[in-house]
Amino acid sequence: MTNQNVVVPDTKSGINLPMVRLSGSSIFPATAQKPPTAPGTGGGGCISLSTKKKLLLENLEINGGGGGGARINSWIDSMRASSPTHMKSSSQSLSEDQQLPWQQQQQQITLPSAMDNFDQIMEASRGKQIVMFLDYDGTLSPIVDDPDRAFMSKKMRTTVRRLARCFPTAIVSGRCRDKVYKFVRLAELYYAGSHGMDIKGPEKGSKYTKPVICQPASEFLPMIDEVFKELVAKTKLTPGAKVENNKFCVSVHFRCVEEKKWSEVAEAVKSVLKKYPKLRLSQGRKVLEIRPTIKWDKGKALEFLLESLGFANCTDVFPVYIGDDRTDEDAFKVLKEREQGFGILVSKVPKETNASYSLQEPTQASLQNIFHNY
């Protein structure tokens, strides 16, 4: 793998990664097995949603041609499609994007629960070295109206610390790396901020490898700062809009914006980005993400970290990636293509995904229980 501004530790001599032992015996015996196909997924754990919704999401690209009111309307439809609102009461009808929880989707459930199938996940990891990758917002912390208050619980922090003592563990987030570190406050982890464009760690307390640094988009920093300032100015009159500088990308949050004002947010983003053809737009849960057009995402970050750990071409590594957003699909796809490990989607409703298993929400006990079982 060739990267810009990358420092990778020497792995020629190999890295001695300890196995975890409970009651005097390894929980991962020597027998290695190919991970089984997740049940009920048709081979890949994918849920196919409507072609209409897929086209709406594809139409979100800023620099791909088209324009005018029709283009903005397409963006608004896309913003609705990937930003379901809170559940209504049972007396009110549900739209396509206000779907019932997993267990009530009788015809769409094909993604099994990670908690219910924990024994199968453990069996698939037998004899292999687990490496954990965790999204932050919506996975380790709840989604909140104010992104600056997306705090993880003390219990979750204790759980992640315990996990990092057993396995190499990385936080992979769209947030600025420094901001995620302030939320998590665990020096023994790897941190991949800005959708993997800013990787560093661990600072101390890790027994797995020397620190690594990767910043493949450093040349875009002045441009990102310019776009951030312009978007702040453009959205200041839209109540509830919040622009966040995540160093190598800019996030425009519209979670607290009235839906009738979403067009103002879309227009502001369009008016700024049309001047920056080297930047592209993607979308998360009620957030528009502006980032460089380089071929780098959370999936590339996962591959880089596996390479840094000496696992690039290993058959006995078992990566587990847990995330809740569209940007996490890049990492799920990498695991699927590698035929190694599993992606676990945190979501209350079925989504089109490359993950193999699901969890309902970040605050439910099952996420902590899975970590504690490890």
DSSP string, 270-328: HHHHTT-TTEEEEEETTEEEEEE-SS--HHHHHHHHHHHTT-TT-SSEEEEEEE-SGGG
Distant-in-sequence, close-in-space partners of 46: CB < 8 Å, separation ≥ 6: 110, 352, 353, 354
To the nearest whole percent, how much of the chain has pLDDT over 90? 47
pLDDT of 365 reads 44
- At residue 147 the predicted structure's pLDDT band, cuts being 50, 70 and 90, is confident
- The model's pTM is 0.73
**Number of Cβ atoms within 10 Å of the Cβ of 247:** 22
- At residue 22 the predicted structure's pLDDT band, cuts being 50, 70 and 90, is very low
Give dist(CA 92, CA 41) in Å, integer: 31
Ranges 87-91, 105-109, 143-147, 224-228, most confident = 224-228
Helices first, then strands: H and E counts in the chain? 10, 15
The yes-or-no verdict on residue 49 having pLDDT over 80 is no
pLDDT of 266 reads 92
Tell me the pLDDT tens digit for each residue of 242-254: 999 999 999 999 9
The yes-or-no verdict on residue 101 having pLDDT over 50 is no
The yes-or-no verdict on residue 15 having pLDDT over 50 is no
More confident residue, 210 or 179: 179
- Which residues are catalytically annotated? 135
The yes-or-no verdict on residue 349 having pLDDT over 90 is no
The yes-or-no verdict on residue 183 having pLDDT over 60 is yes
- At residue 361 the predicted structure's pLDDT band, cuts being 50, 70 and 90, is confident
- At residue 81 the predicted structure's pLDDT band, cuts being 50, 70 and 90, is low
Asked whether 133 and 327 are in contact (CB, 8 A), the reply is no
Mean pLDDT, residues 159-184: 93
- At residue 80 the predicted structure's pLDDT band, cuts being 50, 70 and 90, is low
- At residue 206 the predicted structure's pLDDT band, cuts being 50, 70 and 90, is low
The yes-or-no verdict on residue 360 having pLDDT over 90 is no
pLDDT of 136 reads 95
Asked whether 319 and 344 are in contact (CB, 8 A), the reply is no
